[in-house]
Amino acid sequence: MNATAIAHPNIALVKYWGKRNRELNLPAVPSLSVTLAPFETRTSVEWGTDTDRFEINGTVAHGDAADRVARFLDLIDGARPPVSITSTNNFPTAAGLASSSSAFAALALAATKAAGQSPTLTQLSTLARQGSGSASRSLWGGFVTWSLGARPDGTDSHGHAIAPQSHWDLRVLVALVSDEKKAVSSREGMNRTQETSPLFAGWVESGPSDVTEAEEAVRSRDLERLGTVMEHSTMKMVGTMFSAQPAVVYMKPATVAVLHTVTALRSQGIGAWATMDAGPNVKVLTTSDDASRVEAALREHVQTVHTLHVGGPAYLV
């Protein structure tokens, strides 16, 4: 059977960094994200062809990338037939956003449908998590918490919708510092950090209360409260990276310049807060009213700024 699905990427406002179970991809901390549009991944799946074939953004995947997709499909049906996948992003892969979040969310939705299954969103999120952790948060629109869960099999570690797209009309500006492929993947960076940073225990211990704080800030639409906990979560994560052995340093000089600019904007009364992920690019959370002033300030340091708004849920086409 054939099916096509569309999913938006998300960025974490409270970060996922570290795993308590690598095989099941269970997180060391809970996290909270916002789903972002108009960026999206569109994935078509043909379940039952001659041979596995995975075409991602016009290139056929081989090696590790193909193995990762094949293993993911095996989770849907261990006795599956060969599968053909065509997946495209409507945004540059080097746009400074984790495309694996929308990729595995769209694939989970399209592939289960093509396989004749009808999972719930929660089951899809649990499945997507095993492809890439952040993908567990891209099934829903708006604001999503990925819970830690307690069960050893991971069936209770999945996304929970906190507030829909319509709840809050925020903007996220992506300041593109670099579009080079990063030397250390997020998966490798988080594993090294977990194994070697003496700060990692503090990171894990302080994670859950950040999610509680962010959930309350989202529910009450309190941007200052949300931005403050987002920056705190980001800087704690970056602190564990810096203190890894050897250190995991994604920042470039322009990253630091943008961070200072965001702080300066706040001192001028503009509501803007910064976050980063496993890369040098900075994402700035702000209001629709302040977005153009923030964009102008970011353009003093970077050429490309993407302005994104809160996106909706993944869906079948």
Q: Which of 53, 80, 187, 266 binds ligand DP6 (CB under 6 A)?
A: 187
Cβ neighbours of residue 47 closer than 8 Å, sequence gap 6 or more: 1, 2, 3, 80, 81, 83, 111, 114, 115, 116
Minimum CB–partner distance for residue 162 and ligand DP6 (Å): 15
Which of 9, 18, 30, 133 contacts ligand DP6 by CB under 6 A?
A: 133
Among 277, 284, 294, 302, binds ligand DP6 (CB under 6 A): 277
Count of residues of this chain found to bind ligand DP6 when the rule CB under 6 A is applied: 15
Q: Which is nearer to ligand DP6, 34 or 265 (CB)?
A: 34
- The correct pick among 45, 56, 95, 98 for binding ligand DP6 (CB under 6 A) is 98
Examine residue 231 and tell whether it contacts ligand DP6 (CB under 6 A): no
What is d(CA 165, CA 262) in angstroms, rounded to the nearest whole number? 25
Nearer to ligand DP6, 215 or 277 (CB): 277
- Residue among 278, 169, 210 nearest 32 (CA): 210
Omega of the bond leading into 38 within 30 degrees of 0 (cis)? yes
276's enclosing H/E stretch is: strand 272-276
Looking at the Cβ atoms of 230 and 265, the one nearer to ligand DP6 is: 230
Alpha helices in the chain (DSSP H): 63-76, 99-114, 121-131, 186-196, 200-219, 223-242, 253-267, 291-298
Pairing status of strand 31-37 against strand 304-310:
antiparallel
Stretch of 42-50, 130-138, 206-214, 222-230 contacting ligand DP6, by CB under 6 A: 130-138
Residue 118 structure tokens: 């009808």
Tell which phi-psi region holds residue 219, choosing left (phi > 0), alpha (psi between -120 and 50) or beta: alpha
> Is residue 204 near ligand DP6 by the rule CB under 6 A?
no
Under rule CB under 6 A, residue 134 binds ligand DP6: yes
Are the beta carbons of 218 and 170 closer than 8 angstroms? no
Site residues for ligand DP6, 29-88, by CB under 6 A, read 31
Binding part of the chain for ligand DP6, among 128-136, 206-214, 224-232, 264-272 by CB under 6 A, reads 128-136
Among 84, 89, 100, 261, binds ligand DP6 (CB under 6 A): 100
Give contact residues for ligand DP6 (rule: CB under 6 A): 12, 15-17, 25, 31, 98, 100, 132-134, 186-187, 277-278
